[in-house]
Structure 1
Amino acid sequence: MSRVSPGKATTTRVKKRDPDRMTTAEANPGRLTSTEPDDSATTPPPGAAPDALTIGRRLRHVRQESGRTLGDVADAIGLSASALSLIENGKREPRLSVLTALAGALGVPLQDLLTTAAPTRRASLEIRLERAQRQPSYETLGLPKVKIGPRLPTEALEALVGMHEAMASAQADRAATPEHARRANAQLRERMRAADNYFGDIETEAGQLLAAIHHPGGPISRAAVDRLAGHLGYKLVHTSDLPGSTRTVTDLHNKRIYLPQPEAGQHDSRSLALHAVGHLVLGHRVPADYAEFLSQRVEINYFAAALLMPEGETVDFLRRAMREKDIAIEDLRDAYAVSYETAAHRFTNLATRHLGLPVHFMRISQDGVIYKAYENDGVQFPVDPLGAIEGQRVCRSWTARRVFEQPDLSQAFQAYTDTRSGTYWCTAVVDRTHDGLFAVNVGVPYQHVKWMRGRETTERSVSRCPDPSCCVQPPTGLAQRWTGQAWPSARVHSHLLAAMPPGVFPGVDDTEVYRFLERHAPAPEPV
């Protein structure tokens, strides 16, 4: 059932890699991530052919091991010594017939010359240095190339290779721009939409864990969360000195999950604990890239919601409401003692799969900036050229924006919106946080509104976005009065636009975490 991965404190090293290379479980609709080891960075793909540099170094190694000279071997196959030297130096790619002749002359199988592994550690260093010096980024520096030969000390070779690879790593870090994060977000949202935001494997894991502690149904208590952790061999520990850059810290060695004191923050401690448990149960590994990091975050959120609102009984609850044509997110929120946003997310997990309802969801700031969003009902969110929606601004006529204009922000607001992709009914509430006001919005296409509470609303608006004349461009008179006379200083949504922070775990102070674990580690048992 449950998989608990051994290791060190979980917080997540993310190697920045080509965002177009997806390592997640795209073929498995039950999960977003894979738990299989990813050794693609160190192991050539099956059938990969060696390059000219590797062939040349292997050829030189075999020739020198046999005690043959360059001229001797060249004469044996009817090749000039200079031509053979070019092959050994990786400057000429030999034909297969030439390699076959060389293998015969040296008395070795052809495969010995075609393997992708360097013959010695020094040969590996020479190959890496030669490749680095052939990179366009090095050539643009206008620096001379270091001649690679037997007179170059191994220590100098190691230093040069280390310097080149450190520079390449620094360039990769700088290349991990906001586009990297936005592209990863867009790809993740596409996979969620393809699965209707339902992941059966996670539902199964959550159901089995609840069965293991004999959960009777209904809202899950904090005591039940303790039992869940205990079932996995872990203890939940509240502490007042949790590192400020973390939400939780898991000590995998001593089997402890550290949480903030309940009064120290606004988060539901049940959710925080279940997120930490989710990493363990779902067998998460160290993410290979930012896309996998995001997928893991979505999975632990899904896992926590599946425990807080179990699939079977939640679907029964929604079906009863559907029979009454009275589905309301606030009822789901109240029935399971969760936040409105958690209830809304859970509704998107189950609505299409079990009720046949296409839906959309969004969380936006008061100024209309999208923080989270999902859709499988055809609604057209604003997107950037990479297909990402996070950080984009939604139309002023959408329900998620209009809710802020209502006199009573404590009540849900329902409205219809005519858009270029169709008419949608939406319900939205305002969420007050330390960071300001946010709107949480759930909507369905007009043809499915008959199942929803609040469908009788007379509120209606028209959105022509992305036509700039809808709400982006100011009215003509206002523009004529103020064009060229205003200079606003924009507030940058840095958390949406910045590249991923460096370090073992994104945005986490590693030293602070490890010192925290040292302080809280239990004393060793006396021998």
Structure 2
Amino acid sequence: MQDLATLGQRMRHFRSAAGLTLDALGADVGIAGSQLSLMENGKREPRLSLLTAIAQRLGVPLADLLDERPPSRRAELEIELDRAQSSPAYAELGLPVVRAAKTMSDETLEAIVGLHRELARRATEAIATPEEARRANTELRQMMRERDHFFPELDALAEAQLAAAGHNTGALTHRTVSLMADNLGLQLVHVNDLPHSARSVTDLANGRIYLPPASIPGGHGLRAMALQAMAHRVLGHRAPTSYADFLKQRLEINYYAAACLMPLSQSVAFLQQAKNDRNIAVEDFRDAFGVTHESAALRFLNLATVHLDIPVHFLRVGDDGAVYKAYENDGLRLPLDVTGSTEGQPVCRYWAARTAFARTNRTTEFYQYTDTPEGTFFESSQTGTGTHDEFSITVGVPFAHAKWFRGRETTLRETSRCPDANCCKKPPAALAEHWSGRAWSSAKVHAHIFAPLPSGRFPGVDDRELLEFLESHAATA
């Protein structure tokens, strides 16, 4: 069923054209006129059998009632006004709701809707400060912790889409991803001129998802990007109205893509068997589904607590020790700033996320026990190389759960006393005294830390570049 407001407007349009009152039409189809009024105002969803009867009485095809387009320019404006005044942003203003009465002229309605559009444009283009972004991310991380990082509703959607495409076992292929797009009325198109600020672009008008060139057959990245773009459609996302909304949408599309690449039933069966064998290893999970180590580690985070009864923490840390991503529900104390944010904060030098960089053989996972003020944790880390620097991916669990994991026999053990500054942040007193006043250094500062977050309809995406890209490709659609 399409949008109820549009459906209601089409019902009213055809009823008026037939010269029938609400009560007259209601009597003919066996329903009260007041109930029909609720349906025409988009407040109640009619049954398909009732719609069929209404269409027959009005002498129009059922498809005309179900058309997703507003029946007139006036109806389109009334729908837009209703949506604008139903938004949280308008509610916060404390202003009364203006109804588009029959006596209101089209010019007045155009003006009111135009004002709402401008308010929405200014709100969505407002520059999000780094403080706002950190606060929103902190709230999102807390929400994930409360749910043990598991979102069954997204898993259910993913499994339904996979089943519709005929996928039931093994690694997800590019062909199946294309079939999933076809089922949504979308076509995957690889281009060389994507906007530099966009990972993918979806042309809703022409049913196309534009992706980078398919230069790596079988690569995880392109499958994930396509699935993430499709997820916006599957989940019914609208343009984000705040940075918090943007982050929530990003979480949902990433989770959905992972749930498609590593389906719930197959993943739980694989991990449960590994637990029974006392041989859980993220690298095995990664290889079984043909994904990146980070994707496998994050998916393990989603499933470990609810399905394996294992509390867990996840870290992605740069080679400078700064946190890129961090999640936990196992009691590990993450480094936090005064706002409660962990992104950008340095982790202890003795955690596996840092010590893993020191080893020479990086082809397999690195295992270590770490004693902390919150207890002892078993950690498994894998290092990798990004576009500009190296990073480590770490999955850790409390000592009591180490028995389920490969590498538990390691003799490597470190002690961390962080957040005690004397643990690893302060230099030894003798060394500090020796070099006091005898050295100077210039910091390596990334310019982006001074810049506000990019403005635009979609945070971080250049609006002009995006629209010019869409226009240039629309001619070939």
TM more than 0.5: yes
Scaled to the shorter chain, the TM-score interval is 0.7 to 0.9
The separation in 2 between residues aligned to 1:222 and 1:489, in whole angstroms, is 48
The aligned runs of 1:298-447 (5 Å cut-off) are 298-447=251-400
Question: 1:195/1:509 Cα in 2 relative to 1: closer, same or farther (>3 Å)?
Answer: same
Asked if 2 retains the 8 angstrom alpha-carbon contact of 1:238 and 1:258, the reply is: yes
The separation in 2 between residues aligned to 1:493 and 1:297, in whole angstroms, is 24
Q: Deviations over 1:485-514 (max 9, x none)?
A: 333222335556743211222222211111
- Is 2:92 the counterpart of 1:41? no
AA matched with 2:154: I
The separation in 2 between residues aligned to 1:177 and 1:244, in whole angstroms, is 22
The separation in 2 between residues aligned to 1:206 and 1:494, in whole angstroms, is 39
The separation in 2 between residues aligned to 1:116 and 1:510, in whole angstroms, is 31
Question: 1:495/1:364 Cα in 2 relative to 1: closer, same or farther (>3 Å)?
Answer: farther
Q: CA deviation at 1:117?
A: 7.3
Find the counterpart in structure 1 of residue 196 from structure 2.
244
TM-score, with length taken from structure 1: 0.67
Asked if 2 retains the 8 angstrom alpha-carbon contact of 1:425 and 1:455, the reply is: yes
Question: 1:494/1:309 Cα in 2 relative to 1: closer, same or farther (>3 Å)?
Answer: farther
Q: Deviations over 1:70-125 (max 9, x none)?
A: xxxxxxxxxxxxxxxxxxxxxxxxxxxxxxxxxxxxxxxxxxxxx7879xxxxxxx
The aligned runs of 1:69-80 (5 Å cut-off) are none
Asked if 2 retains the 8 angstrom alpha-carbon contact of 1:430 and 1:439, the reply is: yes
Q: Deviations over 1:409-459 (max 9, x none)?
A: 222110000001110000001011221110000000001111011000000
The separation in 2 between residues aligned to 1:490 and 1:473, in whole angstroms, is 17
Q: Deviations over 1:269-319 (max 9, x none)?
A: 101101101111011112121111001111111000000000001100001
Question: 1:116/1:236 Cα in 2 relative to 1: closer, same or farther (>3 Å)?
Answer: closer
Asked if 1 retains the 8 angstrom alpha-carbon contact of 2:240 and 2:458, the reply is: no
- Is 2:222 the counterpart of 1:269? yes
Asked if 2 retains the 8 angstrom alpha-carbon contact of 1:254 and 1:522, the reply is: no
Q: Show structure 1 runs of 4+ deviating over 2 A.
A: 115-118, 262-267, 483-499
Question: 1:190/1:268 Cα in 2 relative to 1: closer, same or farther (>3 Å)?
Answer: same
Could you tell which deviates more after superposition, 177-186 or 423-432? Answer: 177-186
The separation in 2 between residues aligned to 1:267 and 1:215, in whole angstroms, is 17
AA matched with 2:367: Q
CA radius of gyration, larger in: 1
AA matched with 2:286: R
Q: Deviations over 1:8-60 (max 9, x none)?
A: xxxxxxxxxxxxxxxxxxxxxxxxxxxx9861211358xx6x8xxxxxxxxxx
Count of residues paired in the alignment: 378
Asked if 2 retains the 8 angstrom alpha-carbon contact of 1:344 and 1:361, the reply is: yes
The separation in 1 between residues aligned to 2:232 and 2:133, in whole angstroms, is 21
Q: CA deviation at 1:264?
A: 8.5
Question: 1:459/1:509 Cα in 2 relative to 1: closer, same or farther (>3 Å)?
Answer: same
The separation in 1 between residues aligned to 2:178 and 2:261, in whole angstroms, is 13
The separation in 1 between residues aligned to 2:403 and 2:341, in whole angstroms, is 31
TM-score, with length taken from structure 2: 0.74
AA matched with 1:206: A
- Is 2:157 the counterpart of 1:205? yes
Structure 1: runs of 5 or more not aligned: 7-35, 51-114, 119-161
Q: Deviations over 1:216-257 (max 9, x none)?
A: 311000000000000101000001111111100000000000
Higher relative contact order (CA 8 A, sep 6+): 1
Output the aligned Cα RMSD: 2.8
The separation in 2 between residues aligned to 1:494 and 1:337, in whole angstroms, is 36
Structure 2: runs of 5 or more not aligned: 7-82, 100-114
Asked if 2 retains the 8 angstrom alpha-carbon contact of 1:229 and 1:236, the reply is: yes
Give the share of equivalent positions with the same residue, in percent.
Answer: 49
SS in 2 for 1:431: strand
